[in-house]
Amino acid sequence: MRRRMSFCVSVWALAAPSYGQLRLTLAEAVSEATANNALIRAAAARVAVAEGQRHQAGLGPNPRLILQSENTRFTGDPPFSYSRDADSYAFLAQTIETGGKRRRRVDMATENVRRNEWETQLQRQQLIKRVSTAYWTAAGAIRSRDLLNQEVAGFERVVQFHRDRVREGAAPELDLLRIELERDRLATLARTAAQDSERARIALLREMGKTEFPPVELTDALETLPSIQTLSIEEILERRADLKVSRAEIDMARANLRLQQAIAKPDPDAQFGYKRTAGYDTLYAAVQIPLPVRNRNQGQIETATADIKVAESSLAAVSASIRSELEAARADYELRRKSLAETLQPMRTRASDVYKIADAAYREGGTDILRLLDAERLKIETDLAYTRAMAELQLSLVALQAAQGNLQ
């Protein structure tokens, strides 16, 4: 009796709902994750950094005020007079940028802003995929746990039925032992499923950016499948943020090459101001022009040219990866959907019918306990297989949506 009460308490602890638990849809999980995720905030901050760099790139060089005095002495004949004998200068110097350097800097900074914006979008899409994957993984684990808990609770009634029959002398005690053994096996599976569901629940909350892990009820049904939008490969390539990042890398590398080519052109310094010499007030003007004899920025130009080739190769690799990812995701989704509809669903129905027939026959004395247990085991295994297949179908749908660039 004590063993029975202990077992019932264990089953109740596994099956009982948690009060005050959080009800959560996939859309709510995604919304909370994108609002709280530190990586998304960091990516947005990098966009702000790039905006500041763009603003700085548009600023021209400052003028320079130069105050200069020459020919000052402390001894000699005739005596030194500063106003008559010293040469004093006060003039402004301004570097004149040539080759459109400022425009080239702004162009490169603008491409950097665009690249960071697409990287932020890519971070968001990757987060949505992780949260969606964690949500459906947790939903499948919780469904499996609840299914096994229901089976354990139902099997306890079967155990009580056989216990009564043994007491009445209508069934051998060996049948009761076999039933209790099967019940204990189911209870072990239920505890394992409960542990799996807890790990999946915590993983979901962690992806959402939670630091506390309260009980949750996932309200989106595994059987709910959104419609799949059929897109051409060209449309998909236009949607994918990782491809846009690669294209932005190419644009940025090309803008850098134009900037480095502009930097190779010398910038003259124009100077104009006042000079006092030998007691006379005069004007001063000068131009300084760097002579590009040795350093014509050759190394930076070569580096920028190579960067373009690297970025173009990266774009080709990303494009090929997207095409293969899309093809694999489509094939996986179609195979899982077809298997679920044509195999697992009918098999689940037949297994349930077999169990009902075996149970009725056993109660009428028309079959033995082993056939009943085999039918029960088959029913449970097909129910679990169907649940796992539904969760895997949802996961393959998430992968397909991600491959098509639909996760926004």
Per-residue pLDDT at 5: 39
Mean pLDDT of 247-265: 95
262-301 tens-digit pLDDT:
999 999 999 999 998 878 889 999 999 999 889 999 999 9
Which residue bears the tokens 């354990």?
A: 152
> What distance in Å separates the CA atoms of residue 80 and residue 387, rounded to the nearest whole number?
104
Mean pLDDT of 363-390: 82
314-326 tens-digit pLDDT:
999 999 999 999 9
CA atoms within 13 A on the CB side of 22: 15
* Amino acid occupying residue 88: S
Alpha-carbon distances of 316 from 83, 126, 242, rounded to whole Å:
72, 21, 12
Residue 189: partners with Cβ closer than 8 Å, 6 or more residues away: 148
> What distance in Å separates the CA atoms of residue 158 and residue 154, rounded to the nearest whole number?
7
Q: How confident is the model at residue 141 (pLDDT cuts 50, 70, 90)?
A: very high
> What distance in Å separates the CA atoms of residue 374 and residue 224, rounded to the nearest whole number?
32
> What distance in Å separates the CA atoms of residue 93 and residue 337, rounded to the nearest whole number?
74
Q: How confident is the model at residue 403 (pLDDT cuts 50, 70, 90)?
A: very high
209-235 tens-digit pLDDT:
888 888 899 999 988 888 777 788 888
Per-residue pLDDT at 174: 76
**Structural domains in the chain?**
27-316 (1.20.1600.10)
* Amino acid occupying residue 257: L
> What distance in Å separates the CA atoms of residue 316 and residue 296, rounded to the nearest whole number?
32
Mean pLDDT of 138-155: 88
pLDDT cut 70: percent of the chain above it? 93
Per-residue pLDDT at 367: 65
Would you say residue 172 has pLDDT above 50? yes
DSSP state letters, 320-332: HHHHHHHHHHHHH
> What distance in Å separates the CA atoms of residue 372 and residue 161, rounded to the nearest whole number?
14
3-state helix, strand, coil in the chain (%, to 5): 70, 10, 20
* Residue of higher predicted confidence among 9 and 152: 152
Structure tokens at 322: 């997207």
CA 270 to chain centre: 53
Would you say residue 129 has pLDDT above 50? yes
* Amino acid occupying residue 358: A
Average pLDDT over the chain, rounded to an integer: 87
* Residue of higher predicted confidence among 367 and 48: 48
In degrees, rounded to 5, the angle at the alpha carbon of residue 181 between the alpha carbons of residues 193 and 186 is 15
Alpha-carbon distances of 82 from 66, 74, 284, 378, 396, rounded to whole Å:
19, 10, 19, 111, 89
Would you say residue 196 has pLDDT above 70? yes
Q: How confident is the model at residue 4 (pLDDT cuts 50, 70, 90)?
A: very low
5-38 tens-digit pLDDT:
344 434 444 444 444 567 899 999 999 999 888 8
- The answer to whether 112 touches 54, Cβ cutoff 8 Å, is yes
Closest CA to 96 of 60, 120, 130: 60
327-374 tens-digit pLDDT:
999 999 999 999 999 998 899 889 888 888 887 887 777 666 778 778
* Residue of higher predicted confidence among 172 and 27: 27
